[in-house]
Structure 1
Amino acid sequence: MDKVTRVASENGIVIFSKSSCCLCYTVSFLFKELGFNPLVYDIDCDPEGREMEKAIMRLGCNVPVPAVFIGGKLLGSTNEIMSLHLSGALIPMLKPYQALN
């Protein structure tokens, strides 16, 4: 849990991902198309990946990846991010991190 919260709080926009996950790719592509450069953290390349998956789920994400954090706060997975984007609420949440890209 500590590693997940540390990585999420040390970076403005973080997507915990798996290198073979097409939904993870789609969510990270969305952020890049919107002009933001999130940290994409592939947990399948980390020896503590299994523990990180469990920690993400304990934090309230329905699926371990993609798990999107903005400003250290868990926003959710693909459905939550796409809903925020379609409603127009995602970009205002990202604006404070635009200068960090």
Structure 2
Amino acid sequence: METIRSLVAERPVVIFSRSNCCMSHTIKALISGYGANPTVYELDQMPNGQQIERALRQLGCHPSVPAVFIGEEFVGGDKQVMSLQVKNQLPALLKRAGAIWV
């Protein structure tokens, strides 16, 4: 858990992903489409990726990717982010976190 906290610290948007996950790609594209520049960690390309993935599951991520943090707070996975998008709450959340300005 401490590893995750240090990776998301002081970054407006962090996405834990796998390079071959289509939903991770979709969420990255959605958030980037607002002009945000998320920090992306591809767990399948990190030496400690499996350890981080276990910690994400402990946080309640099922499946473990994509896992999205906005403003250092765990938002959830693809379903939660898409729900925020449908409710038109995602832009305000990104703005509050300092990820976008307009």
* Counterpart secondary structure, 2:14: strand
Deviation string for 1:9-66 (max 9, x for gaps)?
2311000001111111100000111111111111111111111001011112221100
* Structure 1 stretches of at least 4 aligned residues deviating more than 2 Å after TM superposition: none
Identity %, equivalent residues: 38
Distance 1:2 1:44 in 2: 19
Is structure 2 residue 82 aligned with structure 1 residue 93? no
Tell me the amino acid that sits aligned with residue 41 of structure 1: Y
Alignment gaps of 5+ in structure 1: none
Tell me the amino acid that sits aligned with residue 85 of structure 1: Q
CA-based RMSD of the aligned residues comes to 1.1
Alignment gaps of 5+ in structure 2: none
Query: What's the TM-score once normalised by structure 2's chain length?
Result: 0.91
Cross-structure match for 2:26 = 26
Distance 1:69 1:6 in 2: 12
Query: What's the TM-score once normalised by structure 1's chain length?
Result: 0.92
After TM superposition, the structure 1 = structure 2 runs for residues 69-80 of structure 1, keeping only pairs within 5 Å, are 69-80=69-80
Q: Say how many residue pairs are matched.
A: 99
